[in-house]
Amino acid sequence: MRITRVLGAALLTLGLAAWPAAADSTPAPSASDDGSAPTSAGTSFRTAAEFEQGRQATAGASTGDYLYWSFPADAGQRPTVKATVKLPDAHAAQTWQLDVYDGLRRRQACQYGAQTRTAAQGATSVDLACTLRTVRAWSETWADDPLPGTYYIRLTAVNLATADLGLPVSTEVRVDSKDVGGSAAVDGSLAKPLVPGIAVTSNSEDSDEDSSSSAVLSSIEPDDGWSSGWWSDRWVWTAVGGVLAALAGVGGYALTRGSGRPSRLPPGA
């Protein structure tokens, strides 16, 4: 009975501790399209159209244009960028490319996804996708790991024929993230997320200047703010491991200890 109680307490502790970790590892619910997403794209990094994850941005453009959007990504997220380009009826084969840059304007590699695709002549649309590596809370200065902050999307057609320049197209872009959790946690965090203009804003706040004089080039941040990755479910599993180790020690002692009485020898031994 005592062993059963020990095992039952261990399983209950494991289940209660694993519940928040399992909840954190599920993808965050996507926000519904409520008209707040942009309906046009920028033409450079500085004019990139901002939108939040879970919303779909649209834009009309012409082949040959460079289209830019930006979105926030926090530590522990693994963003997936998807783009759809609706092509005109009459066109030659076109190659479209989707690039993603971080707040330092470093081009980020895609773990998987069709980042570049060629639409055959007469095709009505082309779909592109790029799943980034998990955003880290901290990294070495020489590394190009994804870090919390603003990310830029650039969509354009490459190696266009002269006859296809200027043809009208319509585009749709969407970003969704999966929360990876403690498996991607690191010991460290950035002082500030990589958001354009945040250094100017910080200096303005430190000097108690009027907020209207600060230059903020990106105003969107995650709904719950920048976490910088100080908490992760790795803390939960560490605590669970300690509890299970203690319970295993108690159970092992209960199984192996004797009755406390010396064994009796048979008569005449």
Q: Which helix (H) or strand (E) holds 142?
A: none
Q: 193: closest CA among 74, 20, 100? A: 74
Q: Which CATH architecture has domain 31-238?
A: Sandwich (2.60)
Q: DSSP readout, 223-247?
A: TT---TT---THHHHHHHHHHHHHH
Give residue 207's pLDDT. 45
Q: Tens digit of pLDDT per residue, the chain (269 long)?
A: 455 454 455 444 545 444 444 444 333 333 334 447 899 999 999 999 999 999 999 999 999 999 999 999 998 899 999 999 999 887 788 999 999 999 889 999 999 999 999 999 889 999 999 999 999 888 887 888 899 999 999 999 998 888 888 999 999 999 999 988 666 666 667 778 888 865 444 444 444 444 444 444 566 777 767 774 455 566 666 677 788 888 888 888 788 875 555 556 566 65
Between strands 67-73 and 49-50, the pairing is parallel
Specify which residues 130 forms β-bridges with.
81
Alpha-carbon span 135 to 198, nearest angstrom: 19
Bridge partners of 225, per DSSP, are none
DSSP state of 134: P
Does the pTM of the predicted model rise above 0.75? no
3-class DSSP state of 67: strand
**Contacts of 103-107 spanning 24+ positions with Cβ under 8 A:** 103/147, 103/149, 103/150, 103/151, 103/193, 103/194, 103/195, 103/196, 104/194, 105/45, 105/152, 106/144
- Give a three-class secondary structure readout of 152-204: EEEEEEECCCHHHCCCEEEEEEEEEEEECCHHHCCCCCCCCCECCCHHHHHHH
Nearest Cα neighbor of 99 from 156, 146, 60, 43 is: 156
Q: How far apart are CA 108 and CA 175, in angstroms?
A: 15
Q: How many CB atoms lie within 10 A of CB 212?
A: 6
Ramachandran angles phi, psi of 164, nearest 5°: -95, -5
